[in-house]
Amino acid sequence: MRIDKKVILSWSAVIFWMILIFAFSAQPAVESEKVSMSATSIIFRIIQFITGINADLTSAVDHIVRKSAHAFVFFVLAMLVVNALFKTGVKGFRVFIFAFIITLLYACTDEIHQMFVPGRACRLSDVGIDSLGAVFGLCLIGTANWLSRYIGADFTVIYKLNVLRRPRTNNE
């Protein structure tokens, strides 16, 4: 039995991204807050420069940055899982269903993991935000596949997955 290098590489990317999420989740609250506040500070300065607002909205912006980061990492995870499933041979709409289930289960385990990290907590709302990020990622891939099939647009950025495309027959 020959193992396809593309399958191994695709699943390796999924595992690497899951480890990265785990590492971020393993940071105690104090350390995690320092990282997000650094990003928030930069974003807040940009907002102040553009809008001229001098009010201290740092905590509000920090909350948005933290929740956006949650959504983003699971957005990427869902797209990586779709790619890995497709390379493994899963076809059709099942790719999206399985990718969502895998991503949702990982979001749940991520929140359970955070119960054991100092200052962190398990929040159902974070699972919802993670799932929303995954749905956006799946919608992006689904839309790109639809466009490539029905409009003929070329989306090399997402490897021309064409997971929804049925094989063409000689009659087409």
How many Å apart are CA 91 and CA 114, to the nearest integer? 34
Helix, strand or coil for residue 98?
helix
Q: Given this model, what pLDDT does residue 159 score?
A: 47
Domain ranges in the chain? 5-158
Q: What is the pLDDT of residue 66?
A: 80
pLDDT at 1 over 90: no
Which range has the top average pLDDT, 50-59, 63-72, 109-118, 159-168? Answer: 109-118
Q: Looking at the predicted structure, is the pLDDT value of residue 85 above 80?
A: yes
What DSSP designation does 54 have? -
The better pLDDT of the pair 167, 109 is held by 109
Helix runs in the chain, H state only:
5-25, 29-51, 58-88, 94-114, 124-150
Terminal Cα distance for the chain, rounded: 34
Measured from the Cβ of residue 27, the count of other Cβ atoms closer than 10 Å reads 18
In 145-172, which positions are buried (b, 16+ CB within 10 angstroms) versus exposed (e)?
beebeeeeeebeeeeebbbbeeeeeeee
pLDDT value of residue 161: 52
pLDDT of 158 > 60? The answer is no
Give the DSSP letter of residue 1: -
* C-alpha to C-alpha distance for 154 and 162, rounded to whole angstroms: 11
- Under the banding of pLDDT at 50, 70 and 90, the label for residue 122 is confident
Per the model's pLDDT, the better-predicted residue between 160 and 45 turns out to be: 45
Give the Cα separation of 97 and 32 in Å (integer). 32
Q: Are 125 and 144 in contact (CB under 8 A)?
A: no
Closest of 105, 108, 93 to residue 138, by C-alpha: 93
What's the average model confidence in pLDDT over 18-33?
Answer: 85
Say whether pLDDT at 76 is over 90: yes
